[in-house]
Amino acid sequence: MKSHTIMLDINGDSRIVTVRSADTLLNALRGKLGLTGAKPGCLNGDCGACTVNVDGWPMKSCLMLVVEAVGKKITSIEGLKQAPIQQAFIENFAFQCGYCTPGFIMNCHSLIEQYPDADDTTIKEWLESNICRCTSYIEIEKAVKSVLKRN
C-alpha cells in the first residue's frame, strides 16, 4: 500500500487522486490537483506559506500526509470566493511580494470562522504561525481586525 487511490473533499468538490503514502497534502494539492495556491516555503512547518483549512482549522499542508486528509473537508485559497478577509487584504494592502499571502489568508479565515470576536491575544497567538519576509504584519493585523470589527 505504498500508493493509494483516494477520494478527497477539496473546496466542495470530490476529487479522486492516486498518491504515495509519503506524499504530503501540499505535494498532492500542487502536483496532482493543480491547486498551486498553497505555497511551498520551508517545508518544515515553520513558515505557514502552505496553510490550508482542514475541517475548519488551519493546517500546514507540508505537515500532513495526504492520506490523512481522507474524510476531511479541505479548503485551499482557491476555495475562498471573495471571502471578507480577501477583500480586507486588498483594502489594507496587506502584502508586498504576495508569496506568504495565501497562507496568511487561510489562517486569518480560520481564525475569523472559529473566533469571530477574537481579541488581540488570540489574533497574535494564531498569526504567529505565519511569516512574512516583507514584514507586512501591521497591514495584516489591520486587515484581520477590519473583518472582526464588522462581525
Residues engaged in binding other proteins (CB under 8 A) = 1-2, 4, 20-24, 27, 43-45, 48, 51, 54, 57-60, 62-65, 67-68, 107, 125-126, 128-130
- The SS3 call for residue 74 is strand
Q: Which three cell numbers stand for residue 79?
A: 476555495
Residue number with CB closer to other proteins (14 or 44): 44
Give the shortest CB-42-to-other proteins separation in angstroms. 9
Give the shortest CB-113-to-other proteins separation in angstroms. 14
d(CA 118, CA 132): 21
If we measure between CA atoms, which residue out of 50, 77, 76 comes closest to residue 63? 50
Residue number with CB closer to other proteins (91 or 128): 128
Q: What angle do CA 64, 147, 131 make, to 5 degrees?
A: 40
Residue number with CB closer to other proteins (26 or 83): 26
Distances (CA, A) of 34 to 20, 58, 122, 135: 17, 20, 33, 29
Residue number with CB closer to other proteins (57 or 93): 57
Give the shortest CB-57-to-other proteins separation in angstroms. 5
